[in-house]
Every structure is written in C-alpha cells, then in structure tokens.
C-alpha cells in the first residue's frame, strides 16, 4: 500500500512490488497485521520521508511469521511468530525486519494485538525510562492519554509503581484513561491541566512529562514540572517552536530533551529491543500489560484507517489486517 503524491487519506492505493529478500541480519516476515501510527500519517502528508535505505511503503510495526532469514540469523528464527519494529514497509504482504528488532509473540496473544505493540513500546520505553529516567514512586504526566502512546505509557508507568497524570479531550477518554490506571485524568478542553496537575501534586509538580504537543504547551508543561524534572518531547503536533522562560527553567534545574526513533541506527534499536525484552516484555507475557485496541481495518482500507486516526476519536491502537488468520 503506497501513494504517488502526498495528500489526504485517499491517496493511499494498492501497488505490486517484488517480494524483498533478507540481507545480513534480516528476516522476511509474512505480514499478518500492521500497526497504524501518527508518523505514517505524517509521511503520507509529505512531511516525514523515510530515512535512507528504508522502504518507502508506510508502516513502522508488524506482526507475522518469519518465512526467510538472511546471513547471520539463527536458523531457529524460521517459522517463528514475531512482532517487529521496522523503518518502513509494514503496509505490505511481506516486510523485512532486522532479527534483533523482533520480539516473539506470546502464545496467548493474537496477531492483531501483537502488531499494535512495537512502535509504542519502543518509543515509550526509550523516552520515559531511558531519556526521562523515570523511577518507582515518581509521577508521570503524559498528554494524549488514550492514544497508542498514551495507553502504553499509562500501563508501563503503573507497572513500575509510578503515579500517572494524563490529559484527554473528552470525559469518555478520561474515563478510559482512569480504567487503565491513570491516577488523574484531565479534560484539557474544560480544565486547566497546569492548575489540576499542581493541585494533585501538592504544588510539587510531576517528575517526568512525555509531550507530543510542543508549541505553547512547553512552558505550560514546565510550569507543572517539579524541580529536577525531565521534559521529553516526541512529537510537535501543536507547533515546531516554543517560547520558554529560561530563568524559571534554571531555578528549578529542569531538563528539556526529546528524540525521534525511526532515524536511529539499527545497533541502537537492537540494544533498545534487548532492554525491552529483559525488562518490559515479561509484562506482556504474563498479561500484566496488553495493548488497547481501537479498530482493525483491512489493508485495502488503509485510507479509512488514516482518516480515523486524523479524526481523533480513536481510543488505543488502529491496526490493519493484511492476512486473515489461518
């Protein structure tokens, strides 16, 4: 599923390409499902081109069966059911992945759910726990609590005994966030999240903020971020630029950081996958955490899936079914 020119959801159209062949360290996955993520939408709009060497086909996470392995890959990977973080190519019947970026799907988990995990899990783990240095007993503020990122962040933070504050755009979404474990869910359309967050923390502020908005949210975030707090930006949905009070930041010794995952090196992603496998993946294997699923669309209706994401009514992950279950 690709597009000729950037545009709206309707530019997505089927195309036929040769089946790719795995190179050194790679596996070929017969795709069952592919997750739909905000970067896919931004790529389709023409603002997020794939990095050098990546497939131009959208799709950053898949689930499926390994049907071929490249040089240097353990032969036992063949026929294994996996989910994988990929740099592109997920909206297809076959997709290449680096073997070190694959996670074995637990027996109890369906393939649609498995496809909904890698992009959000890798993103949240790296930015909340590695860049944000989140620790037990601290408080996390995550905006967009019912997005794929938000639902993953809430569950992971609660699994590691953190308190969670989140924002959402309706009471329905706030209730969904509370059901996932959020200690405070704020309807940002009717309440001031800075005031409510500071009230909840007794004026201390939160320790870590996972921000997908940027723009004029940054200073507001810093106003409810604690001394020595860490502010991590992963998207700029509210604007590329922010004006902040540096004197306030210095007096509270706050840290501003951020990252993008897709352009990072294969080696970095392999190390990240290894850490996730050891510390987070057991939570999925024992069902402590499960992805929140919104709606599944056939691959041929990828445009409708993008339209749903852009509409903002979804709660949890949107997934494409590439191949019907056997």
Give 286-308 pLDDT, tens digit per residue: 999 999 999 999 999 999 999 99
Neighbours of 218 (CB within 10 A): 22
Q: Where do the DSSP E strands lie in the chain?
A: 26-36, 61-69, 81-85, 94-98, 102-104, 139-142, 163-168, 184-187, 206-211, 225-233, 255-258, 293-298, 317-321
Count: domains in the chain: 2
CATH number, domain of 285, equals 3.90.180.10
Same-domain status, 15 and 81? yes
Q: What is the pLDDT of residue 325?
A: 63
d(CA 114, CA 321): 12
Same-domain status, 16 and 62? yes
Same-domain status, 185 and 110? no
Same-domain status, 74 and 143? no
Residue that terminates a domain, selected from 258, 276, 302 = 258
Q: What is the pLDDT of residue 324?
A: 74
Same-domain status, 86 and 105? yes
d(CA 299, CA 288): 30
d(CA 316, CA 242): 28
Report pLDDT digits (tens) over 14-60: 999 999 999 999 999 999 999 999 999 999 999 988 988 889 999 99
Report pLDDT digits (tens) over 160-175: 999 999 999 999 999 9
Same-domain status, 130 and 235? yes
Same-domain status, 199 and 298? no
Same-domain status, 77 and 106? yes
Q: Would you say residue 134 lies in a domain? A: yes
Q: What is the pLDDT of residue 326?
A: 52
Q: Would you say residue 326 lies in a domain? A: no
Q: Would you say residue 302 lies in a domain? A: yes
Bridge partners of 68, per DSSP, are 28
Q: Would you say residue 2 lies in a domain? A: no
List all residues 6 or more positions away from 134 whose beta carbon is below 8 Å from its beta carbon: 128, 140, 157, 160, 162, 207, 208
> Which residue range forms the structural domain that includes residue 226?
121-258
Residue 3 pLDDT greater than 60, yes or no: yes
Same-domain status, 108 and 179? no
Q: Would you say residue 252 lies in a domain? A: yes
Q: Would you say residue 189 lies in a domain? A: yes
Q: Would you say residue 34 lies in a domain? A: yes
Q: Would you say residue 100 lies in a domain? A: yes
CA–centroid distance for 134 within its chain: 17
Same-domain status, 65 and 178? no
Same-domain status, 127 and 106? no
Same-domain status, 106 and 146? no
The model carries a pTM of: 0.94
């Amino acid at each position: 599923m690709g597009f000729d020119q950037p545009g709206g959801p309707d530019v997505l159209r089927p195309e036929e390409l040769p089946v790719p062949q795995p190179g050194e360290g790679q596996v070929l996955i017969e795709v069952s499902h592919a997750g739909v993520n905000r970067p896919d939408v931004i790529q389709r709009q023409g603002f997020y081109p794939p990095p050098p060497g990546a497939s131009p086909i959208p799709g950053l996470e898949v689930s499926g069966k390994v049907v071929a392995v490249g040089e240097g890959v353990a032969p036992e990977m063949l026929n294994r059911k996996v989910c994988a973080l990929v740099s592109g190519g997920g909206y297809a019947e076959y997709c290449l992945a680096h073997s070190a970026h694959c996670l074995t799907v637990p027996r109890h988990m369906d393939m649609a759910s498995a496809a909904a995990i890698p992009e959000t899990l890798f993103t949240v783990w790296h930015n909340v726990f590695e860049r944000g240095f989140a620790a037990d007993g601290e408080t996390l503020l995550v905006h967009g609590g019912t997005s794929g990122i938000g639902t993953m962040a809430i569950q992971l933070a609660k699994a590691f005994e953190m308190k969670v504050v989140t924002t959402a755009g309706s009471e329905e979404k706030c209730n969904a966030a509370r059901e996932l474990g959020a200690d405070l869910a704020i309807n940002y359309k009717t309440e001031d999240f800075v005031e409510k967050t500071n009230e909840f923390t007794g004026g201390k502020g939160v320790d870590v903020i996972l921000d997908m908005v940027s723009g004029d949210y940054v200073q507001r975030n810093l106003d409810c971020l604690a001394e020595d707090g860490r502010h991590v930006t992963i998207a700029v949905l509210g604007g590329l630029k922010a004006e902040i009070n540096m004197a306030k930041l210095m007096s509270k010794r706050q840290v501003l950081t951020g990252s993008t995952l897709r352009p990072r090196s294969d080696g970095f992603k392999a190390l990240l996958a290894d850490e996730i496998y050891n510390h987070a993946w057991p939570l999925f294997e024992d069902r402590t955490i499960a992805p929140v699923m919104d709606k599944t669309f056939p691959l041929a209706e990828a445009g409708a899936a993008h339209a749903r994401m852009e509409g903002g009514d979804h709660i949890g992950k949107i997934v494409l079914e590439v191949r019907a279950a056997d």
